[in-house]
Each structure stands twice: as structure tokens, then as C-alpha cells.
Amino acid sequence: MFKKIIKLAALSAAAAVLSSCAASNADPVSDGTNQAEITVSTDASDFVSLAEAVPDVILEIRYYSTYNFVGDRIDGYEEPCALMTKEAAAALKEAAGDAEDKGYMLKIYDAYRPQTAVNNFIDWAEDIDDTRMKEYFYPELDKSVLFDQGYIADKSGHSRGSTVDLTLFDMDTGKELDMGGTFDYFGELSHPDYTGDLTDEQIQNRNILRDIMLENGFKPLDTEWWHFTLADEPYPDTYFDFPVSDESVEN
């Protein structure tokens, strides 16, 4: 399958940034994976478009737009589509069915994220003067701490193809459920177990999403209420780098 695999060393020379702890967006290798065994691939043959595999979801691909913590369309996002491994997409389809039974739809912000996009994040984080989106996504933080505090890192679990960022859309009200915090907010407010000044309804809404995803084979991240990875992901040691585009997965 992996006709175009290159070793991580080739990518590391380009990225040249290290961070050991994950929070918003980063999700680097921190799960005991042997760094020496990691590979990078441009083979999209085991990926599918969620528009085809899970048609009953709403797509709002933030990194194709300019409404994200960078403030620009992110490199590698060539179309406003969402891609995942076939295995993750199949599990997400089950989750979408469960959500529909409860009166909701899944709304997807991000799924597969190419390494090219992660490198874009790294370049942005190194430009300390670019704070256009600070008031929306990291008002409590100075941009200079994003590496040290793990909000930006040189790898993302999204690049393994089985991670999704999402929320719930209430079909009765025609609105997203109130989660008490926005997608990609850098701070404690985004932690799934944060209660702080959240209302009972906001806490309950987070739990509804969490329960749906856990019941369908996904595991959460302890720093982001919107982030879930297929527990039995097919490529735990492979990071992919092909464009987010329907063309990437067309046979």
C-alpha cells in the first residue's frame, strides 16, 4: 500500500520544532509510540470522503476558511471536504445514526489533517507578531507560550487519519448545542471535564457528544471537548501528507 513512504527524519528536517505535550490542535506523539517507528505517507488509498461515506453530517471545515486561530486558509486544505480512513468513517457513520436517533446531527470541523497543514501551524506560531485571531481563540494566552504549553507541536493525531473534531447540531432548534466554549479555543475552558462557570445544560451537552462517540469506538482527548480518535485506529504509527480534496480519494 505505502508506495510513497518516507522516514520521519526527512520531515523533521523541514519542521524543526519539538513539543512534548498536546492540547488544542497539537495532539503530538505522546501516547508511547516509538518515534523511530513513525513513517510519513502520501498514500490515500485507505481514505474516503465523509460526504460519501457519512452523508448525514454537516461539514464546516474551519481550516478551509479564514475563521480559525491562524486567520488564513490553511495549507493543504484544497477543498471544504473531510477525509478519514475507511475504518474511522464506518465508526463515525454509526455515531451519526445514534445522534440522529437522539434528534441531532454531527457537525464536523476537521478530520484528516495533512502534515503540510501542521507545518503551517508551526510557521504561524513562530511569527509572534501575528495575533489577528487572539481575541477569538487565545485571549488568555500570550502567543509566545503556545509551543511550551503544548498548543502547537510538530505532529497531530489528525494526520493519522482517524481523528475528528465535531459538535452536535440540534435538528429541532436548527442550532448547534451550547457547549459552553468554541471549537479550537486555547484554554482550560475547552477541557471536557471543565465545569467552572458552565451551566448544567452545557455540561450535559458535552456529555451527550462524548457518550455518542465513546459508544461507537472513539476515545476522547482530555484537553478538547470536540476531539475524538478511533480507539482501534488502523495507522497508529503513520502520518499522512496528501491534500484535503475529494480528488485525493477518487479511484
The span from the CA of 99 to the CA of 181, in Å, is 20
Rg (CA), the chain: 17
The span from the CA of 223 to the CA of 194, in Å, is 9
Q: How many CA atoms lie within 13 A of 41 on its CB side?
A: 19
Contact 50, 82 (CB under 8 A): yes
220 Cα distance to chain centroid: 11
Residues 6+ apart with CB under 8 A from 140: 186, 187
| Buried residues in 62-83 as b, exposed as e (16+ CB within 10 A) | bbbeeebbbeebbbbbbebbbb
Closest C-alpha to 69, from 185, 217, 151: 185
Q: Based on the residue annotation, tell me whether 79 is a catalytic residue of this protein.
A: no
Catalytic annotation, pick one of 224, 233, 247, 250: 224
- The residues that are catalytic are 224
